[in-house]
Amino acid sequence: MLSLIWRIRVVVALATTCLCAPVLAQPFGADGSETDNERLRPGIYPAAPVLDDYGVPVEPHHLPFDIDWSVGLRGTLTQSTSGQTFVTRLTPQFSALYDGSLADITANGSAEIAKPSGQDNVTITNMRLGLSADMALDNVTRLSGNAAFSLSKDLPGSLDLNPQLVVPPQVMSGNLGVGIDRQFGLFNVGVDAEAARTTYGPSTRRDTGETDNVDQNRWTASGNLRVGYQITPIFEVFTQAGLARDFFDVAGVNGEKADATNRTLRAGVSGSWNNILTASVSAGVGQRIFHAGNVGDVTTQLYGASLSFTPDPTVLMTASLETTLEPAGPDNAGTARIQNTALANLAYTVNSWLRLRASADWSTTQFVGSTETENRYGVGAGADYSVNAHTALSADYGYGRRDNSSRGQSDSHQVSLGITLSR
């Protein structure tokens, strides 16, 4: 009997061994998986998968927007008809971007603080603060808004100034605008409106002494309507109408306020080729109607063109032509200024640490109500050298020439060297 029981146990043990043999023949990895697991293949680290941000410390006070900033220090030597000057400039700037689910908001600011050699005073020659927002109301409608404040003051002896100016005026301006764009099939419609305030500080001239310039302070309200038709995926024809009204604070030297209404009408065509080449050209008419009965209206042709060419990521070429009709401004003769301006810029990125730049500009100005005219042109070249991700050196040369029918000719050569630290 015992022999029979023993034989049964041996048979069961052998059967169990045979059934388990195929399984035991498969080796296991260190984590308990089989060797054909893809995580154990060559080149793949044999560890459990983790989240991308696992083990990355979270900033205790992480802001909901991205901030970039830079600070530049530049020295400029200028040799002009009026003499030689050296100016040191500090140029801080910042930008903050909020990329939200409902709207994109951008805040930016910049300043230029200048100190001429041999002088103790420091001048804020330029400062600007801006805020803009853009929101998609639906797939074909976008709403945008902007606000800005700026302050500027030229240094005595600048090429842009009247040679009679000893102390240039400080100019402050602010604006608030809103716009909406919507697509109606092949039609693109845009409407915008803006309110602006411009004030001028006192200036001092060699011939007339100090002038308070309060007769140049004004409020401006403006609006534009643009309607375009997409005739092909590349080309769009458009027309644009604008209306603006200037409200001056006080009367000028002639005893009348310079209040006026600007009316503009343009038509043109624009095109875009795969974001490599974009171009636009337009022509129209502008009219400035003065409310004072003793000042004649001004009518002029308006021209506009723009071009941007980027054949590859290393090259960027831009050019533009624009006609403007606006108030003559302080220390200028006439009742209005008609100005044609052409600009061209070329940038070439040689490699990751060197970038070359070149520019040219030309303008002609007519002061309506006087015989004064002015022609200007200039050329420039520069280079940017990246020392590392946060430090860059720059060098620039510029030449400018002005020919004014009342003030004569003047030219200037500028050489500047600078360093910029950025985030």
| Cβ-Cβ contacts under 8 Å for 128 (sequence gap 6 or more) | 108, 109, 110, 111, 148, 149, 150, 151
Residue 4: predicted pLDDT: 43
Q: Residue 365 is encoded by which pair of tokens?
A: 């100005």
**Angle at CA of residue 295, ends 327 and 220, nearest 5°:** 35
Closest Cα partner for 339 from 322, 356, 354, 353?
322
| Cβ-Cβ contacts under 8 Å for 8 (sequence gap 6 or more) | none
Residue 421 has phi, psi (to 5 degrees) of -105, 130
Element housing 153 (H / E): none
Which pTM does this prediction carry? 0.79
The rounded radius of gyration (Å) of the Cα atoms in the chain is: 34
Query: 3-state DSSP call for residue 295?
Result: coil
41 pLDDT tier (thresholds 50, 70, 90): low
Residue 16: predicted pLDDT: 47
Residue type, position 303, single letter: Y
Higher pLDDT, 216 or 162: 216
Average pLDDT, the chain: 86
Mean predicted confidence (pLDDT) in 236-251: 95
161 pLDDT tier (thresholds 50, 70, 90): confident
Mean predicted confidence (pLDDT) in 330-340: 86
CA distance 337 to 369: 9
Higher pLDDT, 212 or 72: 72
